[in-house]
Homo-oligomer: A and B are copies of this chain.
Amino acid sequence: MNTHQMQRLRESCAKNGPLCVGLDTDPSYLPPEVLSRFATPADAVFAYNSEIINNLGDAAGCCKVQIAYYEAMGLAGLAAYAKTLALLREKNIPIISDVKRGDIADTAKAYARAHFSGDFETDIITVNPYMGFDTLEPFTAWCAESGKGIFVLLRTSNKGMNDLENSALAAGGVLLDKVGAELNRLASLFASQYGADCCSPVGAVVGCTEEENARALRDRYPNVFFLIPGYGAQGGQARIAATLLGKAGGTVNSSRGILCAWKKDSALDAKRSDGALTLVEVAEAAIKAAREAKADLLRAKAEL
Contacts and interface: CB of A to CB of B under 8 A. Distances in A.
A163 interface: yes
A90 interface: no
A38 interface: no
A247 interface: no
Each complex incorporates copies of this chain amounting to 2
A167 B169 contact: yes
Contact of A130 (B113, B130, B169, B182): B130
A20 B158 CA distance: 35
A153 B169 contact: no
Nearest to A24: B107
A133 B163 contact: yes
Interface stretch (A46-54, A97-105, A282-290): A97-105
A236 interface: no
Contact of A160 (B73, B75, B131, B170): B131
A276 interface: no
B130 A153 contact: yes
A118 B66 CA distance: 18
Given A133-B160, A134-B160, A68 B107 contact: yes
Interface string A112-144: 011100111000000011111111000000000
A280 interface: no
A221 interface: no
A74 B118 CA distance: 6
A299 to B, nearest CB: 28
Given A68-B114, A114-B68, A135 B107 contact: no
A66 B130 contact: no
B119 A131 contact: no
25 contacts: A68-B107, A71-B114, A72-B113, A72-B114, A72-B118, A73-B118, A75-B82, A100-B103, A104-B160, A128-B128, A128-B130, A129-B163, A129-B164, A130-B153, A130-B164, A131-B164, A132-B158, A132-B165, A133-B163, A134-B158, A134-B160, A134-B163, A164-B164, A167-B167, A169-B170
